[in-house]
A and B are shown apart, each in its own frame.
Chain A
Amino acid sequence: MPGPVFLVRLAFLLAGLAALFALHLLALGLADGALIPVWLLLAGVIGFGLLGQACARRRMFLAAHVVPGSSLQRILRGGALMVLMNALKGLAFAALLILFVVRQEQTLGWQLLLLHLPVAVLLTIALRRLLYGHLADLFLPIAVWRLGLIGNMVLLLPAFALAALHGTYPDFADLPLVAAISVEIQRQAAESALLLPGLQLVAAVDAVAWWLAQQWLPVAGLPLLQLAGWLLLFGVNGLFLWSYLLYLAGLVSIATRLLGEE
């Protein structure tokens, strides 16, 4: 049965997903002035998680390689540079996350994300419980973070690939590749001048994937081969899912910090 940690983390993740869904509904109509704070907020959440991990790794490094009490402990513990680096990473992943959220036009995809939340929380709790007592205290949060991200990716990517098989796509069977890309780019629209080029870039990548899927995959014949093809083509979207998982991990980090678990 779930305990308080599960409930708090799930509440955080639910709120986080609801916020992303609201962003999906509203983003195309948002101007730059409204979208930039949202970007910064998401970057803050992702960056917080990444910074926590960077600090944990640095602590482990210092414990292993630097004598306690040395001035190097203070110098190398991490400061503005580490914050800056992770903030930049946060900004990049947040930009990918916004594109993923805006272009996630399949209802089934959103419902998969919702169903995945309790699984994600249970997975991190189970990992922590399994690894506790086996791993050093300093390495435990790093291992839980990494294995949690990989485990969730392993769950989500095939699920999204399967869902994509049932999606509705433009018919590019009779179009040359360039025309298909052009059509997809042309139909992108957003109020924000920052968002539009990103959407067009992702739309072009999607057009290539859909065009290949419609030109090549019917030849493959077997459903398993088609699924393999979709997985290959859908690999590009793995990057977006990774940014989503980093966002969830950032939320969990915030929840953990608020709960004072570690």
Chain B
Amino acid sequence: MIAPSDSAGPTRRQIPALLGLLVVGLVLWLAMDQRETLQGLWLAEPRVAVALGDREYELGASEAPDLEQLSRDHLHGSEERLRQELEGLVATELDALFSDLHERVPHFADWYYSLGGEYARLSFWALDQAGITDGGYVIDRMQALIFDQADYAERLARLHRAGALSIETRQKQARNEWLDHLLERLDGRERQPVTGREPELRLSLDGMLPAVGGGPGSDFETRLAVSGAAASGAGAATTAWRLFGRRTATAASSRLAVRGTTRGAARAGTSAGAGAVLCAPGGPAAFACGLVAGGAVWLATDWGLLQLDALRNREAMEDALHEAIATQRQDLEEQLLRHWLDVVEQHYQGMQREVERTFIPIRALSAG
């Protein structure tokens, strides 16, 4: 065996060899640095077969990511348009609905300051005190005279249906537009199965169609329905809550009702005195006369006091009702839009995920 002999330094003859090797190493380094370019000169660009419906198209791997971007942009644009559409729909419908509610306020005030209304309130207040009724009479009347007559609950339900229909329609429209754009991009790229070479990657866009096309309308209708008193049609309870702050609707109703009892003491003394004055002679006729006269004066006094009360308080009550209804409209709009736009956002996020999942092989190809 020969002892290791590489301890001596390079001779003059070896220095050019060393430099030569350095140059070769440098060239090899540069070639490695340009690896992808060099490989591209030799290898054809990977082909991607894109299946859409019953047709198959073929693209270069560098063109395929454009399809994902197109789909993403398309979904983003569609979501923006749908948001604007829903905001417009809610604003228009609530404007019309609450305008009707405002128009019904004077009718409620008419009832409230009528004798019938007064006695009904007193009767139910008495029944409430006896524990026979649940104290919601005034709210029930408010619901009936303002909200039910304006068809509040049904119109809200119609709004939900219209929202769901808008989403569904927009989905279909967006799906068709998306397909049009895709077909425009794939125009002239139909794959020739016999002559073309086998593509490196197959991509089916059909899986995205159900997601991009959207679900059934009833599903959206259910998802758009908002729980909560204001949004579900129990409008008067919400309005009463706004009028009387944090108290319960029952307490609010009692307060509205009890205002009538403050007039009771004045009314009783006045009518008794009036009966005695008008039917002074004694006998049964005088008693009947006293009852009729007392009753008439009772009614007249009540009417007069009601008119006085109306003169002093009606305008303020109507203003408070208008204000409560206006606030309710604003809150309802915010509540509806927040919920609806959440539903839309979740839906579109699902679609974006589907697009992302579909195009993962393309990104893998690009990453490689």
Write the residues of chain A forming the contact surface with B, with a CB cutoff of 8 angstroms. 1-7, 10-11, 14, 17-18, 21, 24-26, 28-29, 105, 107, 110-111, 114, 117, 125, 128-129, 132, 137, 140, 168-172, 174-175, 179, 183-184, 186-189, 261-262
Taken together as a complex, chains A and B put the C-alpha atoms of A140 and B32 apart, in Å, by 36
B17 CB contact (under 8 Å) in A7, A183, A261: A7
- Shortest Cβ gap from A14 to chain B (Å): 6
Q: Which residues of chain B are near A125, meaning CB under 8 Å?
A: 4, 6
B28 CB contact (under 8 Å) in A18, A171, A184: A18
- Shortest Cβ gap from A103 to chain B (Å): 9
Residue-wise, chain B 35-50 has the 8 Å CB interface mask toward A (1 for contact) of 1101100111010000
Taken together as a complex, chains A and B put the C-alpha atoms of A26 and B43 apart, in Å, by 7
User: B360, A262: Cβ atoms under 8 Å?
Assistant: no
Taken together as a complex, chains A and B put the C-alpha atoms of A140 and B5 apart, in Å, by 15
Closest 5 CB pairs of A and B: A170-B364, A3-B6, A189-B200, A1-B9, A5-B6
Q: How many A-B residue pairs have CB under 8 A?
A: 113
| Closest A residue, CB atoms, query B198 | A189
Taken together as a complex, chains A and B put the C-alpha atoms of A187 and B6 apart, in Å, by 49
| Closest B residue, CB atoms, query A172 | B360
Write the residues of chain B forming the contact surface with A, with a CB cutoff of 8 angstroms. 1-10, 14, 17-18, 21, 24-25, 28-29, 31-33, 35-36, 38-39, 42-44, 46, 200-202, 353, 356-357, 360-361, 363-365, 367-368
User: A110, B35: Cβ atoms under 8 Å?
Assistant: yes
Taken together as a complex, chains A and B put the C-alpha atoms of A189 and B360 apart, in Å, by 17
User: B353, A174: Cβ atoms under 8 Å?
Assistant: yes
User: B21, A11: Cβ atoms under 8 Å?
Assistant: yes
Taking A25-B38, A183-B360 as contacts, is the C-beta distance between A111 and B29 under 8 angstroms? yes
Taking A1-B9, A3-B14 as contacts, is the C-beta distance between A170 and B360 under 8 angstroms? yes
Q: Which residues of chain B are near A262, meaning CB under 8 Å?
A: 1-2
Q: Which residues of chain A are near B39, meaning CB under 8 Å?
A: 24-25
- Shortest Cβ gap from B47 to chain A (Å): 9
Q: Which residues of chain B are near A7, meaning CB under 8 Å?
A: 10, 14, 17-18, 21
- Shortest Cβ gap from B229 to chain A (Å): 40
A-B contact pairs, 8 of them (CB 8 A): A3-B6, A5-B5, A11-B17, A29-B44, A117-B25, A187-B365, A189-B46, A189-B200
Q: Which residues of chain B are near A5, meaning CB under 8 Å?
A: 5-6
- Shortest Cβ gap from B13 to chain A (Å): 9
- Shortest Cβ gap from A127 to chain B (Å): 10
- Shortest Cβ gap from A93 to chain B (Å): 23
Q: Which residues of chain B are near A168, meaning CB under 8 Å?
A: 367
B364 CB contact (under 8 Å) in A6, A14, A184: A184
User: B35, A187: Cβ atoms under 8 Å?
Assistant: no
User: A3, B10: Cβ atoms under 8 Å?
Assistant: yes
Taking A29-B43, A140-B1, A187-B201 as contacts, is the C-beta distance between A175 and B29 under 8 angstroms? no
Taken together as a complex, chains A and B put the C-alpha atoms of A175 and B17 apart, in Å, by 53
Taken together as a complex, chains A and B put the C-alpha atoms of A38 and B137 apart, in Å, by 96
Q: Which residues of chain A are near B32, meaning CB under 8 Å?
A: 21, 107, 110-111, 114
Q: Which residues of chain B are near A26, meaning CB under 8 Å?
A: 42
- Shortest Cβ gap from A244 to chain B (Å): 15
* With A3-B6, A28-B43, A189-B200 already in contact, 20 other A-B pairs whose C-beta atoms are closer than 8 Å: A3-B7, A3-B8, A5-B6, A7-B14, A14-B24, A14-B28, A29-B43, A105-B368, A107-B33, A111-B32, A114-B25, A128-B4, A132-B3, A170-B367, A171-B360, A174-B356, A174-B360, A183-B364, A187-B46, A262-B2
B35 CB contact (under 8 Å) in A107, A117, A179: A107
- Shortest Cβ gap from A248 to chain B (Å): 15
Q: Which residues of chain B are near A21, meaning CB under 8 Å?
A: 28, 31-32
B363 CB contact (under 8 Å) in A11, A111, A170, A186: A170
Taking A25-B42, A129-B4, A169-B367 as contacts, is the C-beta distance between A4 and B14 under 8 angstroms? yes
Q: Which residues of chain A are near B200, meaning CB under 8 Å?
A: 187-189
A2 CB contact (under 8 Å) in B10, B29, B361: B10
Taken together as a complex, chains A and B put the C-alpha atoms of A167 and B286 apart, in Å, by 112
A14, A117, A187, most chain B CB atoms within 10 A:
A187
Taken together as a complex, chains A and B put the C-alpha atoms of A125 and B43 apart, in Å, by 40
User: A3, B1: Cβ atoms under 8 Å?
Assistant: no
- Shortest Cβ gap from A223 to chain B (Å): 22
Q: Which residues of chain A are near B363, meaning CB under 8 Å?
A: 170-171
Q: Which residues of chain B are near A114, meaning CB under 8 Å?
A: 25, 28-29, 32
Taken together as a complex, chains A and B put the C-alpha atoms of A7 and B1 apart, in Å, by 21
User: B21, A14: Cβ atoms under 8 Å?
Assistant: yes
Q: Which residues of chain A are near B46, meaning CB under 8 Å?
A: 187, 189
Q: Which residues of chain B are near A128, meaning CB under 8 Å?
A: 4
Taken together as a complex, chains A and B put the C-alpha atoms of A26 and B8 apart, in Å, by 40
- Shortest Cβ gap from A112 to chain B (Å): 10
